[in-house]
Structure 1
């Protein structure tokens, strides 16, 4: 049985497929059997011809796919924010900067070798210095290679040994010029009074990577793949958007409880 399309118009591809299926079903005895190879080939040819004649349809398909993916990402983010709230806001592996009782919390995922994170350090400092109602929770998310991983391990070790100076360590290491690795992190720790041997030994313990594993689980659920990324209220913000953009979201949170009022 042959299948033809009289002309190529929007929506015709669905009509053609439906027609092909309907005719094939009518023409076959009950119970219906699957299309044979020739019929499958002919239907595929119809679809191919239509798409070649109407390539703009692929843009519509891509648009719908992106919309669906965005909806799925939002659902995953909401689920993660709900089910992993303790890991996001109350983890033993995080560093907090600002008033711990501040009503507004900004969670930042960062990498010590991320240039944009280094620039965003000034944004965080401005918030906690000028607005006591905002605190930052810092999630180390080393994604830029081995040097970042080694710096992360020393950072986590320092946080365990000298938690009272964790914020100062963070500012010094992230703000330091050049590539940050384990050695640079050890020197920063020493400058703040840490014993180098003890710090290095702590950084080599297997459990030092527990925070990294937790951060990766959070990032996966939130759709975070790069740094810096933020969680402000119920919104995930990607990239170094700057102080002003973050401040709008913070102000809205204070006003209506959402980042967009």
Structure 2
């Protein structure tokens, strides 16, 4: 990902205020250039701080492109630092992300790249990205998908997540997951149980298994993990050493998967 670029001239009236708001590195660049511009002047007594700052300000107002350069430098540095922080957090959380024995797995369980998805069955954007995830799974036989139930949109969302995880005990997690994710509109308890019945699940057993403490514990782990990764909404994805918040198109996912494959 590249740092953003500000295009066009910077209005002189706000140039100094913009520069004051950016990193010390950017200001250092401006001061260095201003000092260089005045290096040919005969040596004089040390000017007062206010006078020196005014000289810097005047130089920048005469050369506003320095502000653009400084902001670009600052943004690039911030992006690198952000990427390093994300890599560190993902590395520290790798066991929970990739190897939680309670987390359902789709795609190729032995795949070389894992996509971890945090989702809510009543999330509109999760449903929009569901066909993309299915297409990726079908076309990439080395893709592994870890499903992190993250019900944040109310009691029915939690009911749906509990039903899906309880269905896993009957070997039908993915079937119920797909049925609910591909449904139109908001789910209801009756609709969820209807999908389960259509899939041949034992409903009485399902209802009992939905109350398991292990499911509550899994929700707690997923919430803590999402918080540590800075994921506050759905959907959220972790692919390799990168985090993506929100829905994205198939090409974006393909690029992220390719990068993860190149940098295992």
TM-score, normalization by structure 1: 0.68
CA RMSD of superposed structures (Å): 3.4
The alpha carbon displacement at 1:205 in A equals: 2.8
- Do structure 1's residue 244 and structure 2's residue 251 form an aligned pair? yes
CA contact (8 A) 2:105 2:146 kept: yes
- C-alpha distance 218-71 of structure 1, shift in aligned 2 (>3 A): farther
SS in 1 for 2:172: helix
- Do structure 1's residue 147 and structure 2's residue 153 form an aligned pair? no
CA contact (8 A) 1:73 1:223 kept: no
- C-alpha distance 126-10 of structure 1, shift in aligned 2 (>3 A): closer
Alignment of 1:146-185 (within 5 A): 146-159=155-168, 161-162=169-170, 164-185=171-192
Q: In 2, distance between residues paired with 1:158 and 1:76?
A: 37
Matching residue of 2:209: 202
Q: How many residues align?
A: 206
Alignment of 1:27-46 (within 5 A): none
Which segment is superposed worse, 213-222 or 245-254? 245-254
- Do structure 1's residue 123 and structure 2's residue 132 form an aligned pair? yes
- Do structure 1's residue 253 and structure 2's residue 251 form an aligned pair? no
- C-alpha distance 249-182 of structure 1, shift in aligned 2 (>3 A): same
- The list of structure 1 runs, each at least 4 consecutive aligned residues, that deviate by more than 4 angstroms after superposition, is 66-76
CA contact (8 A) 1:117 1:227 kept: yes
User: Unpaired runs of 5+ in structure 1?
Assistant: 1-8, 14-65
User: Unpaired runs of 5+ in structure 2?
Assistant: 1-14, 21-74
